Amino acid sequence: MRVLIIEDDPELGPVLTTGLRDAGFAADLAPTLADADLKLAVNTYDCVVADRMVPDGDALALLGALRARGSTLPVLLLTALDSIDDRVAGFEHGADDYLVKPFAFAELAARVRTLCRRGQPSRPPLLRTSDLELDLPRRRVRRAGTLLSLTAKEFAVLEVLMLRVGEVVTRTELIERCWDESSEPMSNVVDVLIGQLRRRLGEPRLIETVRGAGYRLAAPEADG
SS3 content of the chain, % helix, strand, coil (to 5): 40, 25, 40
Whole-prediction pTM: 0.70
Furthest-apart CA atoms within the chain: distance in Å: 64
Domains and CATH numbers, the chain: 2-118 (3.40.50.2300), 126-217 (1.10.10.10)
Task: Answer whether residue 147 shows pLDDT above 80.
Answer: yes
Could you tell me if 161 and 190 are in contact, meaning their C-beta atoms sit under 8 angstroms apart? no
Per-residue pLDDT tens digits for 14-67: 999 999 998 888 899 999 999 999 999 888 899 999 999 999 999 999 999 999
Residues 143, 8: Cα–Cα separation, whole Å: 43
**Whole-angstrom Cα distance, residue 94 to residue 207?**
40
Strands of 7-122, DSSP E = 26-30, 47-50, 53-54, 57-58, 75-79, 97-100
Cα 103 to its chain centre, rounded Å, is 20
Distances (CA, A) of 107 to 8, 13, 100, 102, 117: 21, 17, 11, 11, 16
Q: How far is CA 205 from the centre of its chain?
A: 26
Residue 183 has pLDDT above 80, yes or no: no
Q: What is the mean pLDDT of the chain?
A: 88
| Per-residue pLDDT tens digits for 98-118 | 999 889 999 999 999 889 887
